[in-house]
Amino acid sequence: MENNHLDSIVLGGGCFWCVEAVYQQVEGIHEIVSGYAGDTEETANYDAVCSGRTKHAEVVKVSYDPSTISLEEVFEIFWATHNPTTPNQQGNDRGPQYRSIIFYKNEEEKRIAEKSKSNVAPKIWDDPIVTEIDPLEAFFPAETHHQNYYSNVGDRNPYCTYVITPKVQKVRKAFADKLKNTSSS
């Protein structure tokens, strides 16, 4: 079934594998593409970005159906499933490529993001929120082997076991009412 009423937002909350795995659980999310934003196409590749020498962040482009899940709800999950209080770091992942960031396409998305950062995130986190909110100039999809990483690799990779699986479990518990019905799959 094709849905012509999808919207999208680009989010960075550390390693894109983590953010992708979290949103793949959520009803109303139709596609998640791991990628890079914040710098040029010439340097939009895993090796360059992971070096920390580019201005890119590892991000995901989350395509969602606003009639099923609102942008505000997308942001609620974002704040709850990564640490937006640590500049350039998520757990052991360190560097500017792992910063907490929201890339908006228009003034309405910017307004909703800023409101959520001011009103929702501080209810979850005691420390100041350092998440950047910047205009999206370009999104560059990551290499094919980085797409659907957790779904494809799962706990065969220790990083997935110790970093991603707890985030997925957290979203399943905290947002049980927003999960996809997977009983038929």
pLDDT digit of tens for each residue in the chain (185 aa)? 455 699 999 999 999 999 999 999 999 999 999 999 999 999 999 999 999 889 999 999 999 999 999 999 999 999 999 999 999 999 889 999 999 999 999 999 999 999 999 999 999 999 999 999 999 999 999 999 999 999 999 888 888 888 999 999 999 999 999 999 865 44
Tell me the C-alpha distance between 5 and 3, whole Å: 5
Q: Cβ of 59: how many Cβ atoms within 10 Å?
A: 29
Which residue has 């914040």 as its token pair? 38
Fold of 7-178: Peptide Methionine Sulfoxide Reductase; Chain A (3.30.1060)
15 is catalytic: yes
Q: DSSP class of residue 49?
A: H
Query: Taking the model in full, what pTM does it have?
Result: 0.93
Q: Cβ of 2: how many Cβ atoms within 10 Å?
A: 4
CB 64 within 8 A of CB 153: no
Tell me the C-alpha distance between 62 and 158, whole Å: 25
Which residue has 């799959």 as its token pair? 185
Catalytic, out of 15, 18, 50, 160: 15
Give the domain ranges of the chain. Answer: 7-178
Return the structure tokens found at 67. Answer: 């009639």
